[in-house]
Structure 1
Amino acid sequence: MKLWWYAILMLGLQLHLTAAAEENATETIPVDEFRLALALGYGRLDNPRVHAKPIETFLLPSWSYYSKRFYLENFTLGYSLHESDNLLFDLQTKLNEDGFFFEFDGLNKLFLSDIIGFSPYKAQVIRPNSNSEPILNEIKRHISYLGGVSVTWVTPYTDINLGMFHDISGVHDGNELQFRLRKSLLYSWGALGFELGAIRKSESLVRYYYQLRPEESGPLRLSYSPSASINYHARLLVNLPLWQDINLVAVTEYTWLDSGITDSPMIDKDGYLSGFIGLSYRF
C-alpha cells in the first residue's frame, strides 16, 4: 500500500469523532457547498492489540459536501432515499474500523515513529515448552469498506439510528448491524452531544481480523473460536464557538469489546478509548 494512502487512513481514524463537533450546532448546513475544516489539538486512539501503543495525532482535517440527495462526510458517502421531519432513510458506504488497528501498525514501521510516539515492539505469547511464539506485531489485515442502509427516526427525546452494512470491498464478506441513540442539547454558549450505541459484528468479520492463521501461530494451537460479537460504546461531544469560523471542540468515546473479540490471543484489553480536543477552523 502506498505511503500517501497510509497517511489518509491515519486521518480517517479520528475523523468520525470530530465531524459532529466541527459544525456550529445552531447553523443550517448549506447545499451544494464543499466545506473543509482543520482542527489543531491532541487526538488519541488506544489500540487493543497485544502490547500496542496508542495512536496519536495533532492535526485533523474534516470535509463535507451536501447536495439535495447526495452527501459526503469525510469517508462516508450517502444518498438520501427519503427525508421527512421525523424519518431519514439513506444508502451509505463507510470504512470499517477494525482494520485501523492493523494498518497503522505498518505505518508506524515506515516513518511515523517519532511523530505519533509509536515504537516497534515484539509481542509474544508465552507458552510452556514451546520453542516458537507467534510474533503478533507482524500480523497484517486490510481495512474493509462497508455498504448498506441507514434509517434514523427523529423524536423530541432522542434520535434513533439503525444501520445494516455488508463488506463491499471483498475483504472478509462480513457484516455489521449498528444501533445508536443520539441526543443534542443547544445552549447560548454552544452545544453538547451524547451517543450510546451497539454494533454487532458477524462471525466472518471477527474471524478475519482476530483469529490467528496457521502461518501466524506457528506450532502453537491456541484455543480461540471466533463468534459474532456485539461491541458497545458511549460518546460525548462538546462544541464551543469562540470566534467566527473558530470553535473549541472536544470529543471522547469509549468502546467495550465483546468476549468474542477479547478472547482472541491478539487482544489484551476489554475496551479502548478514543478522543480529540482542540481548536477547529472552518474554511
Structure 2
Amino acid sequence: MYRILVILLTSLCLPSIGMAKDSCATKDECIEMRNWDLGVAVGWGQKTNPLRDFDDIPVFFIPSVAYYGEHWFFDNGNVGYNLIEQNDFSLNLVTSYSLDRAYFYRWDPSNIFLTRSTQEQANFKTANSLSSEPDPVFNSLESRNFTMLGGAEAFVYTQLGTIRLAYTHDMFNVHNGSEAQIKWTYVWHPNRWVIDLSLVFDWKSENVVDYYYSVRPSENAYWSEQYQADSGWNQGAEVTARYILTDNWDLLLAVRYTQIADEIAASPLLDEDYSSTYFVGAAYRF
C-alpha cells in the first residue's frame, strides 16, 4: 500500500489533448465520429531515462491525431476495430507500439505522442575495490528495432471508473514477445477542470525484456552472461489536469510515474528503477 500511495502522489501522464465538440455525447471527453480530431500541446516537460549514460528526454510538443468511424479507428499511430460496444462494456482489436524502445531512441513514436550518449570503452574496478566485477560500462549498443504489437483490449465502464484489460503480441517477429495491461481510470469535472487519474500495471514477457534490456556480447561480453531476463510487471500512476479556457484551448498539467519491474531494473543497462514524466503547457484543438 505504501508503494501505491507514493506512486499516486507523485505522478501524472502525458495527456490525450483532444477536446470533444459540442455535438459529442460527453463534452470534453469524446471525439466526434467520422471527423478527424487534430490537436497539439506546446509547453515544457521531461521524461527521465533509466538507461545508464543515456540523456533524459525533453518534451516540447505533443501532437494528437485521431479518427473514429463506426467500427474502425485510428488514434496516434494505432489502428483498431470495434467488435462489441455496450453501455458498460466494449471490446476492440488493436495495434500498439512498445514503450521500451523509447528509452533508446529520442524520436521513437512513444516520445512524440506524449540525446543519448554511450561510452565506447569498458572500465574496470581497481584492485582496491571490494568487488572484482567490472563496471557496467558498454560499447556502442546494438539496435533495438521498432515493431508493432497486435491484440485485443476490453473496457469495463463502472461508476467508480473505467478498467482497461489488454493483451498484445509482436506482429513482425522482432522479439516475438507479448505485453498485457490492467489500467484503472477515473475522471471528474470540478467547474472548468477535467482531471484524469489512472493506476497502471504493465506486464512484459521474457522475450520483450530480453530483447530490450539484455546485454549483447558485442556490448559487454561479461555482463551479457551475468544478466538473465525474466518477465515482470511495471507499476505506475498517471494524472492529467486540464483547465478549459475556450472551445479550442486548454491549459495542461500532466505527470507520469512508472516503477520499473525488479526483473527489468536488475539489467546492468539501467541505473534507475523508475521513470517519471512531467509536462506543463497549453493544448489547441483544431
Please tell me the TM-score bracket, short chain as reference. 0.7 to 0.9
Matched residue, 2:129: none
Question: Is the helix fraction higher in 1 or 2?
Answer: 1
Matched residue, 1:172: 175
Q: Would you say the 8 A contact 2:215–2:223 is kept in 1?
A: no
Q: Would you say the 8 A contact 1:124–1:133 is kept in 2?
A: no
CA apart distance, 1:215: 1.7
CA apart distance, 1:95: 0.8
CA apart distance, 1:203: 0.3
Give the RMSD, CA atoms, in angstroms: 2.4
Which runs of 4 or more aligned residues in structure 1 lie more than 2 Å from their structure 2 counterparts after TM superposition? 21-29, 103-106, 118-140, 218-222
Q: Would you say the 8 A contact 2:90–2:154 is kept in 1?
A: yes
SS of the residue corresponding to residue 214 of structure 1 reads coil
SS of the residue corresponding to residue 206 of structure 1 reads helix
Greater alpha carbon shift after TM alignment, 50-59 vs 137-146: 137-146
Q: Would you say the 8 A contact 1:152–1:161 is kept in 2?
A: yes
SS of the residue corresponding to residue 162 of structure 1 reads strand
The AA in structure 2 aligned to 1:17 is: L
Q: CA–CA distance in 1 between the matches of 2:35 and 2:124?
A: 58
Matched residue, 2:186: 183
Q: CA–CA distance in 2 between the matches of 1:221 and 1:272?
A: 24
Matched residue, 1:276: 279
Question: How many residues align structurally?
Answer: 256
CA apart distance, 1:135: 2.4
Matched residue, 1:23: 19
Matched residue, 1:215: 218
Aligned counterpart in structure 2 of residue 73 of structure 1, from 72, 75, 93:
75
* Structure 2 counterparts to residues 113-132 of structure 1, below 5 A: 118=115, 120-122=117-119, 126-128=123-125
SS of the residue corresponding to residue 261 of structure 1 reads helix
Q: CA–CA distance in 2 between the matches of 1:127 and 1:238?
A: 47
CA apart distance, 1:71: 1.1
Aligned counterpart in structure 2 of residue 152 of structure 1, from 151, 155, 178:
155
Give TM-score scaled by structure 1 length.
0.83
- Which structure 2 residue ranges, 5 or more long, are not aligned? 1-12, 21-25, 109-114, 126-131
* Structure 2 counterparts to residues 4-23 of structure 1, below 5 A: 17-19=14-16, 21-23=17-19
Q: Structure 1 residues 218, 134: CA separation in 2 closer, same or farther (over 3 Å shift)?
A: farther
Q: Per-residue CA shift, 1:118-175, capped at 9, x if unaligned?
A: 3645277644478997525534211221110001110011111100110112210000
Greater alpha carbon shift after TM alignment, 138-147 vs 243-252: 138-147
The AA in structure 2 aligned to 1:78 is: G
Aligned counterpart in structure 1 of residue 57 of structure 2, from 51, 55, 58:
55
CA apart distance, 1:18: 2.4
Q: Per-residue CA shift, 1:97-123, capped at 9, x if unaligned?
A: 1111112299xxxxxxxxxxx364527
Aligned counterpart in structure 1 of residue 105 of structure 2, from 100, 103, 106:
103
Q: Would you say the 8 A contact 1:97–1:143 is kept in 2?
A: no
- Which structure 1 residue ranges, 5 or more long, are not aligned? 1-15, 107-117
The AA in structure 2 aligned to 1:177 is: A
Q: CA–CA distance in 2 between the matches of 1:75 and 1:235?
A: 21
Give TM-score scaled by structure 2 length.
0.82
Q: Is 1:232 the equivalent of 2:206?
A: no
Q: Is 1:194 the equivalent of 2:197?
A: yes
Q: CA–CA distance in 2 between the matches of 1:253 and 1:54?
A: 14
Q: Structure 1 residues 162, 125: CA separation in 2 closer, same or farther (over 3 Å shift)?
A: farther
The AA in structure 2 aligned to 1:269 is: E
Q: Would you say the 8 A contact 1:91–1:149 is kept in 2?
A: yes
Q: Structure 1 residues 46, 124: CA separation in 2 closer, same or farther (over 3 Å shift)?
A: farther
CA apart distance, 1:23: 2.2
**% identical equivalent positions:** 26
CA apart distance, 1:244: 2.7
Q: Structure 1 residues 122, 41: CA separation in 2 closer, same or farther (over 3 Å shift)?
A: same
The AA in structure 1 aligned to 2:149 is: L
Matched residue, 2:145: 142
The AA in structure 2 aligned to 1:202 is: S
Q: CA–CA distance in 1 between the matches of 2:198 and 2:171?
A: 27
Q: CA–CA distance in 2 between the matches of 1:215 and 1:119?
A: 19
SS of the residue corresponding to residue 207 of structure 1 reads helix
